[in-house]
A and B are shown apart, each in its own frame.
Chain A
Amino acid sequence: MTSVVTLTDVARVHGEGEAAVHALRGISLDVQAGELVAVMGPSGSGKSTLLNLAGGLDRPTSGEVTVEGVPLSTVKDLAALRRRSIGYVFQDLNLIPSLTGAENVMLPRELDGVRTREARAEALAVLEEMGLAAVADRFPDELSGGQRQRVAIARSLVGERRLILADEPTGALDTPTGDEILELLRSRCEAGAAVLLVTHESRYAGWADRVVFLRDGQIVDSTAPVVSAR
């Protein structure tokens, strides 16, 4: 097993002195290739901060975050690393309305300098994998909520991204559609990705190999890893 993301004694403090807010304290967490780890906690417990730190969207006040063996404190261009290695799935889909599903998925690859023809082939492959081949050329407003979320996930997965960070990815979707999203994330794990999922819904955390409970910026407990049937 190889670690895809490791947080070592990470703390994040906003502000200074008396007004300092300790968003996270003493967080150590490791997510391996093929593993789905869920982080649960009430709002304000530091879930999203944890995800932002894991993905290099924010830097820790102390401690270290390592993604695929690279300590993020040594990385100058985090944006490039994020585009190459990390896929984000958020509740807000933010598909670009004037682009088709396939074009939305192609976009991050084209930004990375991949040629259009190749980007399109990659996009269609990942859309096919998600059962979206038939709607690849539709615009976002011609898709259902579940389809839009799956296109957004396809966009976050295209390319060789081994770390998937998902922040409440099921949003307001109904439970069968939400289950489909988790099914997708799960299948990316089976394909070797590491998934870190933030959710306040236990039914979705139930898909994880390990569930970590966050309270007031600290990990208070976690379930033992479920022995894999793989």
Chain B
Amino acid sequence: MSIRQSLLTLLSKGTRYGYQLRAEFESSTGATWPLNIGQVYTTLSRMERDGLVSSGEQDEQGRVGYTITEAGRAEVERWFSTPVAQSDRPRDELVIKLAMAVAAKDVDVGAVIQRQRTATMRALQELTRAKRTGTDGAAQRLVLDSMIFQAEAEQRWLDHCEAVLKEAGE
């Protein structure tokens, strides 16, 4: 799952402590994906090793604030500008990405939606083509149908997101 990019997105709003990041992640994603604090710190130290965040001095209460680096911002930018590939998607990354995009406030959510819609439509075209050119028996066809329905549902959801956000923005 995209914990790394999610934490970076939250850090792009300013310096945060680990426990703050956990709370913000859970409130942004509706607590659908509980995050344990150990995971948060492991991810932060790996990101520090990779130069995506830097840590400050420990304060008197023993807390360490983390700040995003330029490389970290570039990674957030890359994440939001790259559509999730239909083929190797960890479940629900798109939902998290959109929740994060909305939470971040300075991300062009409409552009994220449009890029995803085009990518998913493209996947749908490939699936339909595969189905048309013939499948080996009903089982295979139904598997393709299932993927077609999933892509279709995703498109409908993206349309819905767009409509809801448009209404909220007006």
Chain A residues in contact with chain B, CB under 8 A? 40, 42, 183, 186, 201-203, 205-209, 211, 213, 220-224, 226, 229
Q: Smallest CB–CB gap between B158 and chain A, Å?
A: 9
What CA separation (Å) do A205 and B120 show in the bound complex? Answer: 12
What CA separation (Å) do A226 and B118 show in the bound complex? Answer: 13
Chain B 71-98, CB-CB to A under 8 Å as 1, else 0, gives 0000000000000000000000000000
Q: Which of B118-132 contact A (CB under 8 A)?
A: 118, 120-122, 124-129, 132
Are A202 and B151 in contact, with the CB atoms below 8 A?
yes
Are A226 and B152 in contact, with the CB atoms below 8 A?
no
B163 contacts across to A, CB distance below 8 A: 42
Q: Smallest CB–CB gap between B109 and chain A, Å?
A: 14
The listed residue (A186, A206, A220, A229) touching B121 by CB distance below 8 A is A206
A183 contacts across to B, CB distance below 8 A: 132
Asked if B117 is at the interface (CB within 8 A of a chain A CB), the reply is yes
The listed residue (A201, A213, A229) touching B114 by CB distance below 8 A is A213
Q: Which of B7-65 contact A (CB under 8 A)?
A: none
Asked if B68 is at the interface (CB within 8 A of a chain A CB), the reply is no
Q: Which residue from chain A places its CB closest to the CB of B124 in the assembled complex?
A: A206
Q: Which residue from chain A places its CB closest to the CB of B163 in the assembled complex?
A: A42
What CA separation (Å) do A183 and B114 show in the bound complex? Answer: 28
B124 contacts across to A, CB distance below 8 A: 202-203, 205-206
What CA separation (Å) do A206 and B129 show in the bound complex? Answer: 8
Q: Which residue from chain B places its CB closest to the CB of A205 in the assembled complex?
A: B121
A205 contacts across to B, CB distance below 8 A: 121, 124-125
Are B121 and A202 in contact, with the CB atoms below 8 A?
yes
Asked if B155 is at the interface (CB within 8 A of a chain A CB), the reply is yes
Q: Which residue from chain B places its CB closest to the CB of A186 in the assembled complex?
A: B132
What CA separation (Å) do A224 and B125 show in the bound complex? Answer: 10
Chain B 99-126, CB-CB to A under 8 Å as 1, else 0, gives 0000000000000001001101110111
Q: Smallest CB–CB gap between B145 and chain A, Å?
A: 9
Known: A211-B125, A226-B129. Contact between A206 and B118, CB under 8 A?
no
A224 contacts across to B, CB distance below 8 A: 122
Are A229 and B133 in contact, with the CB atoms below 8 A?
yes
What CA separation (Å) do A153 and B55 show in the bound complex? Answer: 67
Among A203, A209, A222, find the residue whose CB has the most chain B CB atoms closer than 10 A.
A203
The listed residue (B114, B155, B159) touching A221 by CB distance below 8 A is B114
A220 contacts across to B, CB distance below 8 A: 114
Q: Enumerate the 7 nearest inter-chain pairs by beta-carbon distance, A residue then B residue, closest first.
A: A206-B128, A206-B124, A202-B155, A223-B122, A203-B152, A221-B118, A211-B121
Q: Smallest CB–CB gap between A209 and chain B, Å?
A: 8
A186 contacts across to B, CB distance below 8 A: 132
B132 contacts across to A, CB distance below 8 A: 183, 186, 207
